[in-house]
Amino acid sequence: MTSLIRRLRTLPLRSRLALLVASAVAVAVAVVAVSCWVLTRNQLESELDTSLQNTAAPPDAIRNALDNCGATNTTDNRASFAYIQVVLSDGTRCVTTYSEPVTVQKDDVAVARGTADTTLHNSTTASGAKVRVFTQRQQVPVRPGVQAAVSVSRPLAEIDSSLNQLALLLAAVAGVGIIGAGAAGLWVARAGLRPVDDLTRAVEHMARTEDLTVRIPVEGEDEVARLSRSFNSMTAALASSRDRQSQLIADAGHELRTPLTSLRTNIELLARSEETGRAIPPDDRKALMASVKAQMTELASLIGDLQELSRPDAADPGPLQVIGLHDTMTSALQRARLRGPDLTIDAELNPWYVRAEPAALERALVNVLDNAVKFSPSGGTIEVALSRSGELTVRDHGPGIPAEELPHVFERFWRSSSARALPGSGLGLSIVARTVQQTGGDVALRQAAGGGTVAVIRIPGAPMPPPDTY
């Protein structure tokens, strides 16, 4: 059995499915055929028994049997509806002229002796033919002291021939059914597995060509259709991920080229000064070193942003904790004031507790404040507010962002026309959007009344921490 199962597992799925369908139909046909044959046999036997019980031996036949009792039976093989014989209590049988002698059994003798009223059983004739026998007590004029019973028998051949014909018919029908089931199984397997074949060819094509644009036609709402939709969704997601990765690499290369070119130029000036022995004026050298330092800082910041964005969108951002958004914003404000010492930052923060990764959330808030510091005029004011409902707003009084550019502010490496001359990589707001979305919140930028820009951040939370955080 184990070896058979192993062999079945080595067959193609189409062959296994066809074999399964054919086997199921074969078993069903066999069960129906056997049940039909058994029911028919029982019905025929029941009708034969009823016929025997309703058949009374004629008195003339009984007298004929008694007249032949003790004599040699010489039947002339003429057909008879039933075989009639008288069974004596000593086991002797008296057979009518046109009947086959039937073997007397113990049950027949018991009826003749009076210990039983009737008996119904199978027996055989002297020639070996099977018969059905019904024996009952009956008043028979025999010699004194001898009891008797009358047996009426009918050949079972009339039933057996019908049953044999029925068995041949059922076998033929079952054979045709099994052959048809095999053909139907092959058709069902071929039709049912056609989408799977399409999926297989698509996967093989994708593995061979790395073409992620392949799509499988979807028909219906069954499991195969769901599998096809899932495959199409997976390939679309993979294609989108690869496109974003390629775009990220291209954009990163473009952004890295500028500071690297400037840094190489400055280093070449310093190297040429050392090689030629011609010293650079102190003020120029100081400015050159400051530029190198600024470019190194910009490169480090850009590389850090790229590392942050290189993580998959579905990656685990880290262990989430219940933290105070107002406390995180207070820490971010301290860093922002160091970067804009000539600016005034007014903050009104109400308690609001959220579930987030502390370091990532603080970095996002610092990025929002950095944008406000970068675009605020010297001596300007930045207004920060965290409402009782958990809405955080950061407003600057800078030049603002044109309405047509607002839909692009959270795209990677995108920079508004007013920010191209300012330092930055265009990744800060992308990191903000990603971090806020991972906490289940949303972020938006809009034009402020009277000029400037307002950043609005909403993160699900509550004004009080959960009891389990105490």
- pLDDT per residue, tens digit, the chain (470 aa), is 566 556 655 666 667 777 777 788 888 888 888 899 999 989 988 888 888 888 878 888 888 888 887 654 444 544 456 888 988 888 888 898 888 899 999 999 998 888 888 999 999 988 888 999 999 888 777 777 678 889 999 898 878 888 888 889 888 888 888 888 778 777 777 776 777 777 777 778 777 887 777 777 777 777 777 877 887 888 888 887 777 777 667 666 655 676 777 778 888 887 887 778 777 888 877 877 877 776 777 677 667 666 666 665 544 556 778 999 999 999 989 888 877 788 889 999 999 999 998 888 888 898 888 888 888 888 889 999 999 999 999 999 888 888 787 777 777 655 555 544 455 556 678 778 888 888 889 999 888 888 888 999 999 999 988 776 54
User: Residue 322 has which token pair?
Assistant: 């219940």
CA–CA separation, 425 and 412 (whole Å)? 9
CA–CA separation, 53 and 154 (whole Å)? 11
CA–CA separation, 86 and 92 (whole Å)? 8
User: Residue 111 has which token pair?
Assistant: 């009826």
pLDDT, tens digit (0-9, with 9 covering 90-100), for 227-251: 778 878 888 888 877 777 776 676 6
> In CATH, what number does 321-469 get?
3.30.565.10
The side-by-side arrangement of strands in the sheet containing 130-137 is: 93-95, 83-88, 148-155, 130-137, 118-124
CA–CA separation, 187 and 103 (whole Å)? 58
The H or E element that residue 400 is part of is none
Overall residue count recorded for the chain in this entry: 470
* Spatial contact of 41 and 167, defined as CB atoms under 8 Å apart: no
* Residue 130, SS3 per DSSP: strand
Q: Are strands 321-324 and 93-95 parallel, antiparallel or unpaired?
A: unpaired
Q: Which CATH class is domain 223-310?
A: mainly alpha
pLDDT, tens digit (0-9, with 9 covering 90-100), for 356-365: 988 888 888 9
CA–CA separation, 89 and 114 (whole Å)? 9
* Spatial contact of 71 and 96, defined as CB atoms under 8 Å apart: no
CA–CA separation, 374 and 369 (whole Å)? 9
User: Residue 355 has which token pair?
Assistant: 């579930």
* Residue 180, SS3 per DSSP: helix
Is the model's pTM score more than 0.95?
A: no
CATH code 3.30.565.10 region(s) in the chain: 321-469
Percentage of residues in the chain with pLDDT exceeding 90?
15
Beta strands in 89-129 (DSSP E): 93-95, 118-124
DSSP code per residue over 320-345: -EEEEHHHHHHHHHHHHHHH-TTSEE
User: Residue 181 has which token pair?
Assistant: 């089931």
* Residue 311, SS3 per DSSP: coil
Instruction: Show the CA angle centred on residue 320, arms to residues 464 and 364, nearest 5°.
Output: 90
Beta bridge partners of 393: 385, 456
Assign 3-state DSSP to the chain and report helix, strand, coil percentages, each to 5.
Answer: 55, 15, 30
* Residue 225, SS3 per DSSP: helix
